[in-house]
Structure 1
Amino acid sequence: MTAQPGRAPVAQEDLDAVERQLGRIPRGVVEVSHRCPCGEPDVLRTLPRLPDGTPFPTSFYATCPRLTGAISTLESQGVMREMSDRLEQDDDLAARYAAAHDDYLTRRSELGQVDEIDGISAGGMPTRVKCLHVLVAHSLSVGPGVNPLGDEALDLLPDWWATHPCPELAEDDEQ
C-alpha cells in the first residue's frame, strides 16, 4: 500500500491481518485507525477514492468479524430505527449528530476530495441512522464525544474480543 504524503505506509502484517478478516485484499487503506484490545486492526481509514477509481464514502471501515458481527446483532434488534426516531424528536441529539457528520466529512477531506461524494458522509448521517458499522467505526477511530450515536452503539456492544481473541482465529486458520 502506498503511503499518503506525511503518512507512513500501513505495515504489511496489518494488511495481512485485515485480509484474513475480510477474506479479500483490503483496498485504499491509509491507516489502521483503531486496534482491537487483542492487538489486531479492527477499523481502517480508507481513501475516498479507491485505487480502481470507485468513490468510497466509508472513511472509517470496521474489519474485525467479531466486531462487525456484534454490530449486526444490534442492527437486527432495531437499534437503528430507535435512534432514527430519537433524532426526529431530540434537537440536541440531532445537532450533535449533524456535528458528527461534519467531523466525518472534514476527516475524509484530509485524504482528498471526490466530487461524486461531496457532502455525503456515511451511515445515514446527518438525518438518520442507516449503518451502525460506520458509526461505531467512526467512534472507535476518533474517540468518544464526537459521534453520539456511534458512542451509544459502542456502549451497547459486548466485549467482542473476549471469548476468542482474534490472534487465536488467525492461528486456527493457519492449521
Structure 2
Amino acid sequence: MREQLGRDMRGVVSVARRCSCGRPAVVRTAPRLEDGTPFPTSLYLTLPWLTLDLSRLEAGGLMAELTQRLQVDEPLAAEYRGAHERYLARRAEIGDAEEVRHVSAGGMPTRVKCLHALAGQALAEGPGVNPVADQVLAMIDGAAELRCRCGADEPAEAAR
C-alpha cells in the first residue's frame, strides 16, 4: 500500500478486495486512527489506476449530475440510502467513533461527494450494494471486475 499511495496507510484492519494481480484494491480502516482521529472512510480505495480514472470522472462534473439524479429518482435515492445504512453497519463491526457514527462516506445518503469512497464500497461489498457506485464503475473499462492495469512485473505473491 505504501507503493500505491506514496505514504503509509493508517488504521488498516484488513484488505477488503484485491486487484486481479493480487495487490490491495480496497482496504478496511478503523473508524478511529491510532492517534485518536475519527476516520469515517472505512472502505478506502488504494488502486492508483482506478483512483486516477475516478478523479477524471469527478473533474468532469459527474458528481453534480449524480446528485441531481438522486433528487429526482426516488428508487435510486432509496437504494443509495440503503448503501449508506450498510456502510454504517459494516463500519460498526470493526469499531466506533462517536464523532462519525452517523456519517458514512462519499456524500451518502443524499449527495455524491467522493466517487473513490463509493467505489470502495461497491468493490468491497459487491454489485447491487451501492447503485450509484455500480453505475460509475460501469463507465470505467475493467473496473467492476478489477482487471489489472497496475503494470506489475512481479508475481502477485510478492505484492501481498
Provide the TM-score with structure 1 as the length reference: 0.82
Contact 1:40 / 1:166 at 8 angstroms: preserved in 2? no
Matched, 1:24 2:1: no
Quick one: which amino acid aligns to residue 40 of structure 2?
P
Cα distance in 2 between the residues matched to 1:75 and 1:143: 22
The structure that has the greater radius of gyration is 1
Matched, 1:112 2:92: no
Matches within 5 A, 1:43-54: 43-54=26-37
Give CA-to-partner distance per residue, 1:27-53, whole Å, 9 cap, x none.
Answer: 111111011122211110100000111
The aligned residue for residue 150 of structure 2 is: 165
The aligned residue for residue 19 of structure 2 is: 36
After superposition, the Cα gap between the structure-2 partners of 1:72 and 1:39, relative to the gap in structure 1 and judged at 3 Å, is same
Cα distance in 2 between the residues matched to 1:141 and 1:67: 14
Cα distance in 1 between the residues matched to 2:62 and 2:126: 21
SS in 2 for 1:39: coil
SS in 1 for 2:152: helix
Give CA-to-partner distance per residue, 1:14-73, whole Å, 9 cap, x none.
Answer: xxxx01101111111111101112221111010000011100000000011111001101
Where do 5+ consecutive residues of structure 1 fail to align?
1-17, 171-175
The aligned residue for residue 10 of structure 1 is: none
Contact 1:28 / 1:46 at 8 angstroms: preserved in 2? yes
Quick one: which amino acid aligns to residue 168 of structure 1?
D
CA RMSD of aligned residues (A): 1.8
Cα distance in 2 between the residues matched to 1:21 and 1:60: 16
Q: Which has the higher contact order (CA 8 A, sep 6+)?
A: 2
Provide the TM-score with structure 2 as the length reference: 0.90
The aligned residue for residue 133 of structure 2 is: 150
Q: What fraction of aligned residue pairs are identical, expressed as a percent?
A: 51
Cα distance in 1 between the residues matched to 2:48 and 2:131: 23
Count of aligned residue pairs for this structure pair: 153
Where do 5+ consecutive residues of structure 2 fail to align?
156-160
